[in-house]
């Protein structure tokens, strides 16, 4: 589906799901590449898989022993995922077979909570960042990490959509780029984002655009777009609370790009989700309806569909005739 301002402005709630316990945050969400399935994970230890064509729940799994925080599908498989735990003492990562509802492998090395989780688009490897000041590269076939990058504070890391490059921020307000096949040589580029940030400069989210040209960088109070080749600031999106309002408590909202890289979507204080034009931060549409700040928002990789999560899970589809 080709997205346009007209289509984006027509997005309205098509369905609302109330599967997760209302008073708890949803901490993880992901689409399969084909856009047919969505998974969510929450502080209530529940994992739900949905059919996106019907906006209907197809699977419900529980994770009592470790809890579940971040979750990502693997290789477009609706029955395979990697998830991080929410346990205060055991920061294990789980390779989870949803069909059999069993863990195929447990990965232990992090000594604090995982802050990011990024599977490679087609190889059997994934990246994690953590509050323990390390970025780890894992192979699904091995219990222990295959590479480690040490930092000066909480870390985040992500692959680009082709899996050729990964970006990491390791405690300082910098973004480091590594060649996936030659990471042992060290970074091939790094950008200092400190000049563009104020207040709490710790980077909480780094995300490549699908086209590979841009990087979203999220801190506690700011969301900026930088050029993925030279690190120059392109624009900043308004995610600040209204004047006089305190910042919302709870997880930092995780933004997303539209599949064509034209638009950026993020939850904002007050309960709305904003859709901006990517390269100039022009507000195109405001998805209003939640009572709390949405922590997870995403465009479907294939369909004209957005999903936002706060106290409920909302499916946003174009009004009839807009497409």
Q: What is the pLDDT at residue 322?
A: 56
Distances (CA, A) of 202 to 148, 252, 310: 20, 12, 24
DSSP state of 246: P
Mapped onto helix, strand or coil, the DSSP state of residue 194 is helix
Strands 233-237, 56-62: pairing is unpaired
Six-digit token pair at 78?
A: 């609706």
Summarize pLDDT for 203-220 with one digit per residue, the tens: 999 999 999 999 999 999
Taking the chain, what is the end-to-end CA distance rounded to the nearest angstrom?
Answer: 8
pTM score, two decimals? 0.95
Six-digit token pair at 307?
A: 């999903």
Q: What is the pLDDT at residue 241?
A: 86
Q: What is the pLDDT at residue 321?
A: 56
Q: What is the pLDDT at residue 249?
A: 84
pLDDT above 80: residue 1: no
pLDDT above 60: residue 121: yes
Summarize pLDDT for 146-186 with one digit per residue, the tens: 999 999 999 999 999 999 999 999 999 999 999 999 999 99
Q: What is the pLDDT at residue 115?
A: 97
Mean pLDDT of 35-51: 96
pLDDT above 90: residue 68: yes
Distance CA 296, CA 313 (A): 9
């Amino acid at each position: 589906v080709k997205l346009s301002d007209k289509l984006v402005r027509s997005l309205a709630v098509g369905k609302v799901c109330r599967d997760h316990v209302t008073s708890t945050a949803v901490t993880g969400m992901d689409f399969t590449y084909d856009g047919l399935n969505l998974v969510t994970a929450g502080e209530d230890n529940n994992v739900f898989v949905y059919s996106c064509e019907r906006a209907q729940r197809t699977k419900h799994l529980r994770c009592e022993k470790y809890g579940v925080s971040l979750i990502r599908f693997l290789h477009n498989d609706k029955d395979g995922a990697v998830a991080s735990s929410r346990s205060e003492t055991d920061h294990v990562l789980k390779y989870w077979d949803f069909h059999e509802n069993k863990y195929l492998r447990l990965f232990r090395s992090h000594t604090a909570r995982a802050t990011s989780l990024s599977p490679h688009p087609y190889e059997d490897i994934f990246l994690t960042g953590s509050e323990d000041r390390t970025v780890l590269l894992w192979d699904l076939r091995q219990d222990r990490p295959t590479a480690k990058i040490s930092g000066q504070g909480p870390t985040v890391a992500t692959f680009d959509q082709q899996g050729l490059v990964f970006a990491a921020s390791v405690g300082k307000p910098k973004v480091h780029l590594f060649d996936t096949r030659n990471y042992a040589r060290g970074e091939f580029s790094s950008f200092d984002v400190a000049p563009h940030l104020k207040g709490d400069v710790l980077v909480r989210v780094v995300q490549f655009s699908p086209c590979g040209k841009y990087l979203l960088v999220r801190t506690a109070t700011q969301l900026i777009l930088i050029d993925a080749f030279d690190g120059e600031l392109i624009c900043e999106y308004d995610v600040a609370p209204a004047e006089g309002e305190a910042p919302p408590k709870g997880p930092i909202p995780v933004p997303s790009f539209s599949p064509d890289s034209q638009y950026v979507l993020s939850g904002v204080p007050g309960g709305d989700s904003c859709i901006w034009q990517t390269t100039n931060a022009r507000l195109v549409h405001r998805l209003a309806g939640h009572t709390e700040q949405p922590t997870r928002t995403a465009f479907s990789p294939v369909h004209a569909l957005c999903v936002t999560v706060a106290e409920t899970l909302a499916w946003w589809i174009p009004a009839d005739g807009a497409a």
